[in-house]
Structure 1
Amino acid sequence: MDNHFTDIQLDVLKELINIGGGHAATSISQLIDKPVNMLVPMIEIMDYQELYAKIMAEDQLVYAVMSQIYGDAGGVFLFALSDDSTEAMTDMMMPESVVKTEVLKESATKELVNIMVNSFLNATSKVLDVNLVSSVPLLTIDMFGAVISSLYMAFDQYDEQVMIIKNEFFYLGDKMEASLYFIPKAGVLEKLFKSIGV
């Protein structure tokens, strides 16, 4: 798909996301008092229908956390994790002595997403001098295709393009992969690039 965005635009955007990722890793490290690193090796903008072929199967069961974005660049952040990745993230977020119940797993996942999304938004807000705020994260456990489809049915004013931000967390030498999706309102990405000046 021709997303009509240039390599320079995506490179600048990736740098913004990396800044936000660094802030997120620092915040998580301070919270759990252990070193956490986060890299963003891939950013791609594509039609949401391509997700199932290129990123994640439609019938993949995921822990999906949604955070709605308000302000100068509206949309939805969606953080999707497999069950194994959710277990690993919970182990990272919670002390070893704590029994990992399903309720705690869901709570830890939502808190992780809350930290990540707000770190991204704070970094972007400072660099671009825009106002961005997020809603309280909501978690659902469902097939990936059903999650994406429900977002588009609930927010049909949103653009058909999705920004995929591939995250890699490194904790105690282990890598945990997850994907953060930004589903923007129509025209938001163009407005964002105009603010950046590229």
Structure 2
Amino acid sequence: MIRDSVTLGELERDALTEIVNIGVGRAASSLRKMIGDQVTLSVPAIDIVSQRRAARLISEREAAELVAVRQDFDGAFAGRALLIFPESNSLELVRAVTGESLSAEDLAEMEREALTETGNVILNSCLATIANMLKRSLAMTIPEVLHGNSAALFEIDDAGDEDGLVLFLYIDFAVRKRDIRGYIAMIMDIPSLEKLKELLDEFIARVVGDDG
């Protein structure tokens, strides 16, 4: 199958997980300064799946509507990054970011701004760290906030076009003792994922060379 060409080996998966955890660690530090309180972020699992499978993975876990921050990226590899939360979690995040007890109406007004800022910090930290550690650069668009179910966020239609693959990351996200689960998804075409795999192999060779 064509998807076999972009399956990550164990070393590649471990290397990418470590790189992304460094990125979300930097994001947590930035959010800590922004919020003024403890923020913990980690990415315990990474997988490559089809867009349809990614949508199903989230819909199996999250019955509620979702909210996402989306940014496109381009460079050595290209794609679309999504930071996804269940809607109830996104409001908890807004409360944490604003540090206030807000009414539902006030929360709705502040949601887009707070989510855009948070998504920008997290996605930029992750993508910039991946690019820097792989010795490449990426350009990113301005973030935008989307609402909808998982099929809408992953742009699934009945035509069944699954050429786009998703680098799917689960996030453990805690702010001010609030447990906020979320997901990072990077939708990429096969050439971009193959390029990422190639750059990971170069990174592993450099690390092994330095250790040797």
TM-score normalised by length of structure 2: 0.82
Task: Structure 2: give runs of 5+ residues left out of the alignment.
Answer: 205-212
Query: Partners in 2 of 1:124 and 1:16 — Cα distance?
Result: 6
Identical pairs, percent: 23
1:187 aligns to what SS in structure 2?
Answer: helix
Q: Offset at 1:159? A: 4.7
Give the number of the structure whose alpha-carbon radius of gyration is greater: 2
Residue deviations 1:20-63 (CA, integer Å, cap 9, x gap): 01000000001111111101111111112212433325975211
Structure with higher helix content: 2
Question: Any conservation in 2 of the 1:59–1:145 contact (CA below 8 Å)?
Answer: no
Query: Partners in 2 of 1:78 and 1:54 — Cα distance?
Result: 15
The 1:60/1:174 distance shift into structure 2, 3 A limit, reads: closer
Query: Partners in 1 of 2:192 and 2:83 — Cα distance?
Result: 19
Query: Partners in 2 of 1:47 and 1:143 — Cα distance?
Result: 17
Question: Any conservation in 1 of the 2:64–2:87 contact (CA below 8 Å)?
Answer: no
**Residue 146 (structure 1) aligns with:** 152
**Residue 51 (structure 1) aligns with:** 54
Question: Any conservation in 1 of the 2:89–2:180 contact (CA below 8 Å)?
Answer: yes
Q: How many matched pairs? A: 194
- Aligned: 1:178 with 2:179: no
Query: Partners in 2 of 1:191 and 1:77 — Cα distance?
Result: 17
- Aligned: 1:166 with 2:170: yes
1:51-70 equivalences under 5 Å are 51-57=54-60, 60-70=64-74
Task: Structure 1: give runs of 5+ residues left out of the alignment.
Answer: none
- Aligned: 1:81 with 2:124: no
Query: Partners in 2 of 1:52 and 1:34 — Cα distance?
Result: 32
CA RMSD across the alignment: 2.4
Question: Any conservation in 1 of the 2:52–2:154 contact (CA below 8 Å)?
Answer: no
Query: Partners in 2 of 1:36 and 1:132 — Cα distance?
Result: 26
- Aligned: 1:21 with 2:24: yes
